[in-house]
Amino acid sequence: MCGIVGYVGKQNAVSIILEGLKRLEYRGYDSAGVCVQQGRRLDVAKKAGRVENLAKVAAKHRFTATTGIGHTRWATHGGVTDANAHPHVSSDGKFALIHNGVIENYAQMKTFLAGKGFAFQSETDTEVLCNLIAYHYAKEPARAKGRNRFLESVRKTLRHVEGTYGIAVLCTDFPGEIVGARKASPLILGVGDGEYILASDASALVSRTQNVVYLKDGELAHLTPKGFSLSTLDQADVSPVVDRITWSIADSELGSHAHFMEKEIFEQPAALENAMRGRFSADGSTAQFGGLNISAGEFREMERFMFCACGTAWHACLVTEHLIERFARVPVEVDYASEFRYRNSPLDPRTLFFVMSQSGETIDTLAALREAKRKGYRVMAVNNVVGSSIAREADGGIYQHAGPEVGVASTKAFTSQLLIGAMIALYVARMRDMSFSDGVEYVNALKGAPDLVRQMLKQAPRIKAIAKRYAHYHDMLFLGRLSLFPLALEGALKLKEISYLHAEGYPAAEMKHGPIALISEKCPSVFFAPKGEIFSKIVSSMQEIKARKGPIIAIATAGAELPPGLADDVILMPECHEAVLPIIASIPVQLLSYYIALERGCDVDKPRNLAKSVTVE
């Protein structure tokens, strides 16, 4: 989850690293640090807190070096302190290292190294890794004859590591060089004009170059002022494949918006249009996908679908489950990716797997993908990042094309996933028994979704006023049914993430089976109340809440006749097709959560304890 930047070139390394760290701060903001190499000297500056704190410390050092590494931390091993901030330096002073991931066998390593006289200044697993490199470097220099001793010491160390890592390392004996490596934590090499940048995310390097090499698991990168090389842990050389980033730095900047979350909420119409562009058949009756790498016949033979994801993407999978079963009549199971790999779930051989992850680097989802493939299943991926680990390892997939999402609380990526889930449901349904005319109606509804979202966004001032009235509460319930039950879960998650209010999502009918005990005048409820066959049932649940003096916010479709006075506040959605309804219903809960968080003075883009990409278990 941490952010990594390494630079080798001709410019001032610190200014470039700090710029990159600011763009990576959404990956972690507990502490930040930088280490530059000036000749055979390593100079380190690090500080608990945000990157701006580091920038103030670094300014006092007046760094001029052209090689360096930098890090912004999401704490795993050890508390949030200056000592635990990266980079870490080996006890002999020869190596500096930054790390994203978790070293699972660090305790055994630390015991071994302490017995060899190595000292430790922090509580982190990363410092252990740095000292182990120093140990191998000092122990067997002759074995590296004919090869770069620095590179070989890192390589040998990593053969002993259990866990995950994306690392960048400096060595005093090799000025101007960086060694990087990855295993289950993202690492990208930017290839610029006479300069090279290592980063855990493309946003850190896209201002310098759009030419990138995506490192694979078990690969090491060796950067020098004259070039770079790739190799494996087994010393095999790797021919680099240079890809090109298709978005610009402007896509990841705030522009006129106060926060990235606000910007990304209002980018949703465009994100939806991008997600569906070119993905409908010529006759306008079904969806089509170019990257599934599975024939229509093979797809049709599947008797079951399995979806794995985490967090917000899991909620999108739940909506997709409802739509596939509703329109295609194929059974679907949705599992937490973090649980799937540890369960021995019986599966039909004719099961097709889907994994969803905005970043394409979510470690639990990646592990679920690998487990499914290990058991012989084909796995499709829905993700937003070209070249990500999940995109590369899946058998086929669908890119969201939502553009970079910087806000920790997902908004446009979520509605993009909902849209793609609806398109998958259509694709399967048309293969089964959905008629041509129903398919055309479905497609037209999806095409109209961006304009309906624009209509909802116009209600932002009204929703802001509603949010102000509810920001002082400490608990809130979100209630929905069928395809909007996952939206109740998502609404509660959004509020928890960015405002730190306690919130829970439930199926509306489940309230009377226990959670209604929570209801009082101090616990508001947000109800999804769409017009339809179960509207009267939802109204009954609302009346049960009202009888116990619970305040109610109703998110209802236009034309739904709520009894007068039942809801304290009503947010109206336009009437729409069932496949589009979850997308439209997402907008008011996103805005409500955003404005409540603002009213409470919370940092919506960098909520406490969270990071954007969860790359550690």
Give the residue ranges of DSSP H helices in 62-168. Answer: 106-115, 125-139, 149-158
- In angstroms, what CA-CA distances link 181 with 4, 88, 110, 322? 12, 16, 21, 41
Q: How far is CA 433 from CA 291, 323, 529, in A?
A: 24, 14, 29
Output the CA angle 408-413-418, nearest 5 degrees.
135
Q: If you search the block for the tokens 């439209």, which residue do you land on?
A: 584
| 197's tokens | 């940048």
Residue 42, phi then psi, degrees to nearest 5? -105, 125
Among the listed residues 393, 440, 395, the one whose alpha carbon sits nearest the alpha carbon of residue 283: 440
How crowded is residue 552: how many other Cβ atoms within 10 Å of its Cβ?
A: 21
Decide if 612 is catalytic.
yes
- Give the Cα separation of 168 and 184 in Å (integer): 15
CB neighbours (10 Å) of residue 531? 14
Of the candidates 222, 254, 255, 247, the residue with the CA atom closest to the CA atom of residue 237: 222
Q: What is the DSSP letter of 220?
A: E
Marked catalytic residue, from 2, 130, 308, 576: 2
Q: Where are the alpha helices (DSSP H) in 394-520?
A: 412-431, 436-447, 449-457, 460-470, 485-499
Kindly write down the DSSP assignment for every residue of 520-544, as one continuous string: STTS-EEEEE-SSTTHHHHHHHHHH
CA 530 to chain CA centroid, Å, is: 30
Say how far apart CA 547 and CA 511 lie, in whole Å: 13
Contact 336, 308 (CB under 8 A): yes
Cβ-based neighbour number of residue 239 at 10 Å: 6
Nearest to 542 by CA among 563, 572, 513: 563
Which of 41, 397, 25 shows the shortest CA–CA distance to 199? Answer: 25
443 token code pair:
């497609």
Q: Are strands 219-224 and 178-183 parallel, antiparallel or unpaired?
A: antiparallel
d(CA 488, CA 509): 13
What does the block give as tokens for 383?
A: 């993700």
Please pick, among 46, 496, 546, 612, the residue that the annotation labels catalytic.
612
Backbone angles phi, psi at 432, to 5 degrees: -100, -95
Return the closest-CA partner of residue 269 out of 492, 453, 474, 31.
Answer: 453
Work out the widest C-alpha separation in the chain, in whole angstroms. Answer: 85
Q: State yes or no: is 602 an active-site residue.
A: no
- Closest of 231, 194, 193 to residue 215, by C-alpha: 231
* Measured distance CA(573)–CA(459) in Å, rounded: 10
State the catalytic residues.
2, 612
